[in-house]
């Protein structure tokens, strides 16, 4: 078989066909995963907080300041059925970086205790 003047063996054609099919399958799967994600992934903090409360009854259960100035917030529904981790940039933009189920609240050690 010749494509643009290049002769391909049966093995090369099979490999090319497998590569094209693999890329097509990966593209289709990535579209399915992205379609399942809640929107918006990024918004101003107040809007995102309102959406988390309205859609999943999630409220803030933890927060921490990251070294680059971002605020890390964890929202969880009553009983921890769902949770969302949000990074808030100094500009006020908030982005969902993780979400899931079965949030487990851990206890914090007393001041001076090892973590």
Say what the pLDDT of residue 112 is. 72
* 109 within 8 A of 91, measured Cβ to Cβ: no
Residue 40 dihedral angles phi and psi, to the nearest 5°: -85, 150
pTM value is 0.60
Domain boundaries, the chain: 2-35, 39-101
Say what the pLDDT of residue 68 is. 85
CB atoms within 10 A of CB 49: 20
Which parts of the chain fold into alpha helices (H)?
A: 10-36, 45-56
**Tokens read off for 83:** 């949770």
* 52 within 8 A of 75, measured Cβ to Cβ: yes
Query: Along the 115 residues of the chain, how does pLDDT read in single tens digits?
Result: 445 555 656 554 454 444 443 444 444 444 444 445 554 689 999 999 999 999 999 999 999 998 888 999 999 999 889 999 999 999 889 999 999 998 887 776 767 766 5
Say what the pLDDT of residue 22 is. 44
Say what the pLDDT of residue 75 is. 95
């Amino acid at each position: 078989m010749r494509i643009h003047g290049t002769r391909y063996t049966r093995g090369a054609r099979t490999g090319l066909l497998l590569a094209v099919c693999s890329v097509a399958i990966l593209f289709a799967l990535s579209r399915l995963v992205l379609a399942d994600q809640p929107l918006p992934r990024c918004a101003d903090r107040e809007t995102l907080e309102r959406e988390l409360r309205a859609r999943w009854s999630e409220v803030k259960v933890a927060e921490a300041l990251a070294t680059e100035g971002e605020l890390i917030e964890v929202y969880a529904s009553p009983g921890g059925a769902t949770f969302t981790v949000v990074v808030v940039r100094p500009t006020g933009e908030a982005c969902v970086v993780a979400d899931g189920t079965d949030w487990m609240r851990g206890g914090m050690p007393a001041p001076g205790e090892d973590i």
